A and B are shown apart, each in its own frame.
Chain A
Amino acid sequence: MHKHELPRFLFIFILGITACIVLSYTSLVSGSYSISLSEVWHTLLRIQPDPELDLVILDFRMPRIIIGALVGLGLGIAGTVIQAISKNGLADPGILGINAGAGLAVVAFMFFFLGNSPLDGFFSAISMPIFGFIGGLLASFLIFGLAWERGRLDPQRLILLGIAVGTGLSAVSLYLSLKMKASDFDLATVWVTGSIWNANWYFIIAIIPWFLLFLPIILFKANLLDLFQLEEENVKGLGVRTERQKLILLLCSVGLVAVCVSVSGSIGFIGLMSPHIAKRLVGLKHKYVLPISGIIGMLLVIVADLIAKTIVLPAEIPVGIVVAIIGVPYFIYLLFKARA
């Protein structure tokens, strides 16, 4: 079994990447304005560029697909880490209220800064992930702090508190967004439902550094996540400073989630589903699970976005809603499977 793990991982990895590329291509050519294969190539390789195609492909569809892929990647990996740390297969950044915290911080940012001074798009695109990170961090400290009792984390209580705190923070977001001007309100509602239709290149530039910072740390520490599945005492016996390592990993995954939320709003269930699918495919070792989970997350968001933008032409369904409709049945399936 162990001998086959690596080839199996590589096979699934390549398969996943190929599927992502094929689906991205499908997403690139479909929409209210159909584009042919040669037109895509001509635009990308700059052969006789057509300004109209440039606009559709380079300014609208490409950033959207890239953002979708990045968000899926981030949520899939963060979900895996959070499930491993909390030893709870039902944990998900959305259910745990981290999304709501990051969303609130972004809404607060828009409320206090965007309304008053004429800031250009680049500045706000750069600052929103930072605010999202702070908000997500505060929310997760609040939730984990409340769930912490006598030196241990009660997983059941963690989920309940997450639901409660998340609902509360969303109520505050709604309250703030109602006090905004109508144009800012429209922008803010994007965060409530989870949508990537307003993606642009600024967002991509703004979030890439964060991914470059957090992803290597998490991947580098993947083996530690395997150890956390053991009993706490055994891990300490192996000479690992568990609390410190948990904190670092948690910070990194909250960072990823917050950055994703700051560009796409609250998309739930990706962080829940991807790790489970990944574990079915490549076993339990986190050095294999993490990358696959990220790829599954990418696939899920790209597919959900493809459905979201093509099913109701010319209107669009927020991608978060599509993900919820796919995700809930899977969640219930997990509940059935989970041992009592």
Chain B
Amino acid sequence: MQATHNTAAKAILILFPFAFAALAICSMMIGAKDIAFSTVIQSILHFDASQPDHQIIMHSRVPRAIGTCFIGAFLAISGALMQGMTRNYLASPSIMGVSDGSVFLVTICMVFLPHASSLQMILFSLVGSALGVAIVFGLGSILPNGLTPVRLAIIGTIIGTFLSSLASALSIYFKTSQNISFWFNARLHQLDPNMIKLSIPFAIIGLVMAIYLSKSITILSLGDDTAAGLGENTVRIKLLAIISVAILTGISVALAGKISFVGLLIPHITRFLVGNDYRWIIPCSGAIGGIFLVLSDVGSRFLNAPYETPISIVTSFIGIPFFIYLIKRNGGKANA
């Protein structure tokens, strides 16, 4: 059994670059202006600044394809870390209020520091997602039975509502609601190449931490007591994992706003394919998450052509039935 799982994991990781390349080219061809395959290839190989199509591809569609893949991967890895760490099948960045924390601090940043640079925005977003995780898990640990799937999901939803309500109240109070509604809604079509470049160092830190932690997360997913018995410092691992989640989710929100359900859905699919070893789950979640989001992004251009549908609507359409399936299967009881 373990062997087949390993093969599956290796296959996913090997196929990932090819799948991404194929999808990325699709994503570059389709849009408000359809561009021919040959032009796409040409503009990547021999960029000609005088041709508008080449400009569109290099400045809008290439960043979009790459950024979308990054975001999908970050969200899926965050979800995998959270699910492994809490042994909670509903844990994920959007349900647990992490994204809302990020939106809240970005709002504060926009209100009080209207001329903040992109780098400052990213930093605020990171602090915000850390704040979101801290509040939700903090309350979860204080409350009786707070870390069971249901309680944590309720606390997450409620804190999320609270933070986003505060954010919109602030934004209306300071009359910046238009800029801020940008942050609430996912906006992959406006991915800023500079933001992507700025976020790369943070992303590397987050990803390295996630992979470094993956072995410990596997042990942690057996239960806190078992992990402690096997000589793991559970508090340290959880703290590091939360930092990693905060970094990865924070960057995603800074790049493209709130995208729901990727972090919930992908780790489950990945676990189904590659088994319970987080050394495989974490990289494979990243690969599948990236592909999933690029695919959803391409789909979002068909739903209401020629306009684009917000990506969160697409991911919700796919994610909600899955969410309901998970609840039906696992029930409301604590899930060991």
Contact = CB atoms under 8 A, between A and B. Distances in A.
A171 B320 contact: yes
B303 interface: yes
A239 B260 CA distance: 48
Interface string A303-321: 0000000011001111001
Contacts of B146: 335
B304 A311 contact: no
Interface in A149-167: 149, 154-161, 163-165, 167
A157 B169 contact: no
A332 B158 contact: yes
Given A315-B172, A335-B146, 8 more contacts: A156-B331, A163-B154, A164-B323, A165-B320, A268-B161, A317-B169, A322-B169, A340-B144
Contact of B332 (A156, A165, A325, A338): A156
B161 A161 contact: no
A95 B160 CA distance: 13
Given A160-B153, A167-B260, A174-B313, A321 B143 contact: no
Contacts of A332: 139, 155, 158
A335 B143 CA distance: 7
Contacts of B150: 156-157, 159-160
A90 B154 contact: yes
Contacts of B27: none
A175 B304 CA distance: 9
Nearest to A94: B161
A144 B23 CA distance: 40
Nearest to B148: A156
A3 B242 CA distance: 56
A284 interface: no
Given A146-B324, A178-B307, A163 B157 contact: yes
A311 B173 contact: yes
A154 B260 contact: no
The 5 closest A-B pairs by CB, nearest first: A156-B332, A340-B144, A168-B320, A171-B316, A328-B162
A241 interface: no
29 contacts: A90-B154, A156-B150, A159-B154, A160-B149, A160-B150, A161-B324, A161-B327, A163-B154, A164-B327, A168-B316, A171-B316, A175-B303, A175-B304, A175-B313, A178-B304, A178-B307, A179-B307, A193-B168, A312-B172, A315-B172, A316-B172, A317-B172, A321-B168, A321-B169, A324-B161, A324-B162, A324-B165, A325-B165, A335-B139
Nearest to B261: A167
Interface of B: 90, 139, 142-146, 149-151, 153-155, 157-159, 161-162, 165-166, 168-169, 172-173, 175, 260, 303-304, 307, 309-310, 312-313, 316-317, 320-321, 323-324, 327-328, 331-333
Chief secondary structure at chain B's binding surface: helix
Contacts of A161: 324, 327
A11 B295 CA distance: 62
A321 B324 contact: no
A167 B320 contact: yes
B159 A328 contact: yes
A336 interface: yes
A158 B158 CA distance: 16
A46 interface: no
A321 B310 CA distance: 23
A44 to B, nearest CB: 32
Contacts of B151: 335
Contact of A178 (B158, B165, B260, B309): B309
A339 interface: yes
Contacts of A211: none
Contacts of A165: 320, 324
Contacts, number: 112
A79 B309 CA distance: 35
B154 A335 contact: yes
Interface of A: 90, 95, 146, 149, 154-161, 163-165, 167-168, 171, 174-175, 178-179, 193, 268, 311-312, 315-318, 321-322, 324-325, 328-329, 331-332, 335-336, 338-340
Nearest to B145: A340
A240 B255 CA distance: 58
A178 B314 CA distance: 13
A167 B172 contact: no
A325 B169 contact: yes
B324 to A, nearest CB: 5
Contacts of A95: 154, 157
A164 B169 contact: no
Contacts of B155: 332, 335
A336 B138 CA distance: 13
A338 B144 CA distance: 8
B129 to A, nearest CB: 19
A339 B303 CA distance: 46
A60 to B, nearest CB: 19
Contacts of B304: 175, 178-179
A299 to B, nearest CB: 20
A171 B168 contact: no
Nearest to B135: A332
Nearest to A174: B313
Given A174-B310, A340-B144, A325 B303 contact: no
Given A159-B150, A161-B324, A268-B161, A154 B332 contact: yes
A155 B162 CA distance: 23
Contacts of B175: 315
B158 A157 contact: no
Given A167-B320, A317-B172, A178 B310 contact: yes
